[in-house]
Copies of this chain bind each other. A is one copy, B any other.
Amino acid sequence: MVNPDFLSDNAHGCSPEVAEALVLAGEGRMAPYGNDPITRRVRTRCCELFETEVEIFPVLTGTAGNALAIAAMTPPWGAVFCHEDAHIHREELGAPEFYTNGAKLMPIACTPGRPDGKLDRDSLAHALAGGKRTKQAIPACLSLTNATEAGTVYTLGELLALCDLARQHELGVHLDGARFANAIVTLGCTPADLTWRSGVDILTFGATKNGALGADLIVVFRRELAAELALRYHRGGQRLSKMRLLSAQLEAYLTDDLWLRNARHANAMARRLHAGVAELAGVEVVRPVEANIVFPRLPSSLAERLQKEGFAFYNWSIFGDDVYRLVCGFSTTEEDVDALLEAIRR
């Protein structure tokens, strides 16, 4: 039997508050297609949380959220700049290309000596200079992920520098926030600071990986983009008739700081794991641990033994043949972490 302890944040269930909200949401009749009171309350809550008027679109998957958000800012002949390890480029089987009707992703290679999964202003500037050859594609969008796929976090300063450059080149800015909560608790900043105040136009606000049972949310700060996005949302088969299935989860997620509490816990578990691993001679961790993921380099014999003992996790070969990804979630316990450390030590 698989025991997917460190496999993915997606392997965890949901917070009890989310389950409870689902039960309540199942009762009674409500107008369909988002005209229900729960969805309206989620929108209001988001306006408060982000300290500005926003439009929202609940989605079932981060892939749909990212692809719709990017399509809202990118014509078919547009270029989307992103890190070469971005989820939109590596893992979504061309969903952004599908939703944009064929735009071109422009993956930017890691700056040598900076293996933190982040773009910097120089590498973006270099890519944009190449982007001047407008017979290739018309630069349209910058897509960043925070926390990144490498488990690192863009600081406000880094984010601002990138968004500024994007703005100078008239790019829209999309933030893939599959682990937005993890970034917020690391930085201790406000959601407004980490998004529109820094220059983000649309956020894909993840909840699935952090305590929901399956719900993400597109948050549109540049509100003039919302009308067309609503059409793409419908046409993409993402517009839920019983919107409350998603909205109820999102409401619980944003109530009483559940989202922050969950992320804080997951990050703490990752730090505990990192600390334990760092003590072990011969185990290098190849990425800074700033969110809820740890990337150790392990002898393959050790990795195989751990997996045989029931610890589930992926080999992450794009970071090195012997690198593995250990993900902590909102329901990871200290006992889970200590059991893994114990097993490594054996």
CB-defined contacts of A11 to chain B, threshold 8 Å:
29-32
Q: Which of A46-54, A193-201, A235-243 lies at the interface with chain B? A: A235-243
The complex places the Cα of A10 from the Cα of B34 at a distance, in Å, of 11
**A162 proximal to B (CB < 8 A):** no
Answer yes or no: A27 CB below 8 A from chain B CBs. yes
Inter-subunit contact B234/A26 (CB<8 Å): no
Q: Do the beta carbons of B26 and A7 come within 8 Å of each other?
A: no
A119, CB-defined interface residue at 8 Å:
no
A197-238 vs B, Cβ < 8 Å mask (1 yes, 0 no): 000000000001100011000000000000010011011111
Known contacts A60-B238, A208-B242; A76/B98 CB under 8 A: yes
* CB-based contact B234/A236 at 8 Å: no
Give the residue of B10, B93, B246, B312 whose beta carbon is less than 8 angstroms from that of A137.
B93
Please, what's the 1-or-0 string for A95-135, where 1 marks a CB less than 8 Å from any CB in chain B?
10111111111000000000000000000000000100111
The answer to whether B13 and A32 touch across the interface, beta carbons within 8 angstroms, is: no
Across the interface, A13 reaches (CB within 8 A) one of B27, B93, B232, namely: B27
Question: How many residues on A have C-beta within 8 angstroms of the other chain's C-beta atoms?
Answer: 84
Residues of B within 8 A of A240 (CB): 60-61, 214
| A153 part of interface (Cβ distance < 8 Å) | no
Given contacts A59-B237, A91-B136, contact A101 B99 (CB under 8 A): no
**Is B64 in contact with A235, judged by CB distance below 8 angstroms?**
no
B contact residues around A32 at 8 Å (CB): 4, 7-8, 10-11
A residues contacting B by CB (< 8 A) are 2-5, 7-8, 10-16, 18-19, 22-23, 25-33, 35, 59-65, 67-68, 75-77, 89-95, 97-105, 130, 133-138, 208-209, 213-214, 228, 231-232, 234-242, 244-246, 312, 318, 331
